[in-house]
Chain A
Amino acid sequence: MKRSLNINIEHIARVEGHGSIELNVREGSIEKLQWNIPEAPRFFEAMLQGRHFNQLQPMASRICGICSIAHSLAALKAVEAALDVRISEQTLLLRRLALHGENIQSHILHVGYLAAPDLFGSGSIIPMLKSARTTVTHIVRIHRLANAMSDLICGRTTHPLRFKVGGFTALPAPEDLKNLRKELKNSIKTVKKVAEAIHTQVSQLPDFSRETEYIALRHDGLYALYDGLIASSDTGVHPVEDYLNITNEYVEPYSTAKLTRHRRESYMVGALARFNLNASQLGELAWEIADLFGLSPVNCSPFMNTIAQLAEIADSIEDAIAVIDELQARGLAEEAVKVEARAGRGIGAVEAPRGILFHDFTIDALGNCTRANFIIPTNQNNANIQKDMEAWVPSIIDRPQKEIELMLEMLVRAYDPCISCSTHYLKIKFR
């Protein structure tokens, strides 16, 4: 007899993102398979209208408690583009450093606290302390260092205080930068140990691949996080100003979050997309980790996103050290920034930890925002998660229900969306 199955993985309120999965199978055929985002609209774009350009970054930062630095930088870049403000080399270096801090912090949260428990067969990081205590300690130490890095450059861990249009309101003390460099250097061996520990469990990563389009920023000289053009694995390089033609947002009645598509039905953003498009620009440390896992471009397994994040942690540490060296060689100095209101439109794109992020502001002659648009990474990955499920479920449909649930949750978690926490806690109902 062919199998019938109803899986309803409900969303849970209160966490930053809400996602749910519904799978109905009747006599072996899939009747419904849907990845839903029922999260309530937050109206940030409307809230920013009428606000002065100096208020846009602090408000936009609040979109995300994890990626507040990326949102802040995208907002600043959009304002600066609209007002034709050029930033100094020092500001550019400090912003790169801030973004590296967030990248390390966000990635280690996902790799260590959310994904690793799946690999170690553990419900959370707490039981992992019994089975893999040293690894957990290493994970927490890296997270702590990344927080300290954000504190130093941004004034606090989340929602930066020291950013402003055109520059910084305060600079890190040279002695603190020196100490940070030392700590980053020391953390390299810790990151390698975490990678080695994760590698011992790599067989737990499901074997699933699906070719898709990958989109990320691309920069001529650097592994792009702060700056670059839009690159697509299908269509090549595009100016940031073309972002609407790349993202093509659309809505579905079942989802309060928008979805996006470009050349295909869906595309992927995030660490794996960046790796697939820009891997040749990664440093030695990142490659050491990628090689350990046999990760090379183009890799089409969404589960390898977690491994790409590990490689990016190493790269962010390596590049952060290089940035500090450059700042120390130049010497830090207070800089006067002249910013004047004028009418204009600006688009800011950065790579948030979860993928390419766009902010688009129109500002009037008085310096007030008349229109705002945001396209965030999680929305861009939604359609790809759905398409992955559609491709994968037929091959796992005969497995035990518990296993299917876990596999589907692992798939969602692999994308590291803001809803990964809620998917970790989903209640499953079988009818």
Chain B
Amino acid sequence: MKTTGLIGIGNPFMGDDGIGPLLIERLRASGVLDDQIRLIDGGTGGMSVVHELALLDAAVIVDAGDFGGQPGDYRIFSVQKNGVFSVEPGNADSMTYSAAHARIQWPFDKQSPCGKVKSDKSSGGFSIHEWDPIKTIELSMMMDELPQPLHIMVIQPQAIALRRFLSKFLQVRLSEYESVLQTLFKPYCRNDAGRR
């Protein structure tokens, strides 16, 4: 069985940005995922995520990100070994994935919903305090440590601001997000998956 993990990225003190760690917490408590799946609170990310990815054969990252959707909507990227992204569902003409600490613009068309993703984050580098998911993935890829498959579930925030709770837009869809994650992990679960 592959070593599989779910990494939730975000800051629980910043409202909807905390969706990643919150989902980790909820899935850990509910036990609905196979207990072989590692549930990782990636915090605000950075190099620690590169190290976590290196230990996984297959992974899903959950992060809040602005892709121009309605608050609470989500998109799922799949990252191939060569760094090419594809998106599911692929019905948008263009997308900007603007995570709390990075903004990524990715033009693609309906016929070919995949392409190279580049971060246009204003910071020029990569540091221990800066989370730029694309640079993290790039580093992981160039070190031949990228899990396959690797999915990124991006959830559109309503607001990223100093508060300890999610907006109602995300709050009401928590079960839906969990179901999506369960589906994503289905190929990696044992038949008796789920402890409860």
Contacts and interface: CB of A to CB of B under 8 A. Distances in A.
B143 interface: yes
Contact of A126 (B54, B122, B138): B138
A114 B130 CA distance: 12
Contact of B47 (A113, A117, A137, A424): A113
Given A124-B124, A126-B139, A140-B143, A421 B130 contact: yes
A117 B139 contact: no
A396 B100 CA distance: 39
B14 to A, nearest CB: 10
B142 interface: yes
A117 B129 contact: no
A119 interface: no
Contact of A15 (B129, B135, B139): B129
B1 interface: no
A162 to B, nearest CB: 19
Interface in A114-134: 114, 117, 123-126, 129-130, 133
**Interface of B: prevailing SS:** loop
Nearest to B139: A126
B143 A137 contact: yes
A129 B128 contact: no
A422 B127 CA distance: 9
Contacts of B143: 129, 136-137, 140
A66 interface: yes
B171 interface: no
Contact of A425 (B124, B128, B142): B124
B48 interface: yes
Chain B interface size range: 20 to 34
B190 interface: no
Contacts of A181: none
Nearest to B134: A126
Contact of A147 (B48, B130, B139): B48
B126 interface: yes
Interface string B98-121: 000100000000000000000000
A124 B129 contact: no
Chain A interface size range: 20 to 34
A144 B49 CA distance: 11
A157 interface: yes
Contacts of A147: 48, 51
A157 B123 CA distance: 25
A16 B129 contact: yes
A125 B126 contact: yes
B89 interface: no
Nearest to A425: B123
A343 to B, nearest CB: 36
A139 to B, nearest CB: 10
Nearest to A117: B125
A23 interface: no
Q: Which of B48, B50, B125 has the most CB of A within 10 A?
A: B125
A318 B151 CA distance: 40
B125 A124 contact: yes
A143 B47 contact: yes
B48 A421 contact: no
20 contacts: A12-B123, A14-B101, A15-B129, A66-B128, A109-B128, A123-B124, A123-B125, A124-B125, A125-B125, A129-B139, A129-B142, A130-B142, A136-B142, A140-B50, A140-B51, A143-B51, A147-B48, A421-B127, A422-B129, A425-B124
Interface of B: 47-48, 50-51, 54, 101, 122-130, 135, 138-139, 142-143
Given A113-B128, A125-B139, 9 more contacts: A113-B47, A114-B125, A114-B127, A123-B125, A140-B50, A143-B51, A144-B54, A147-B51, A421-B128
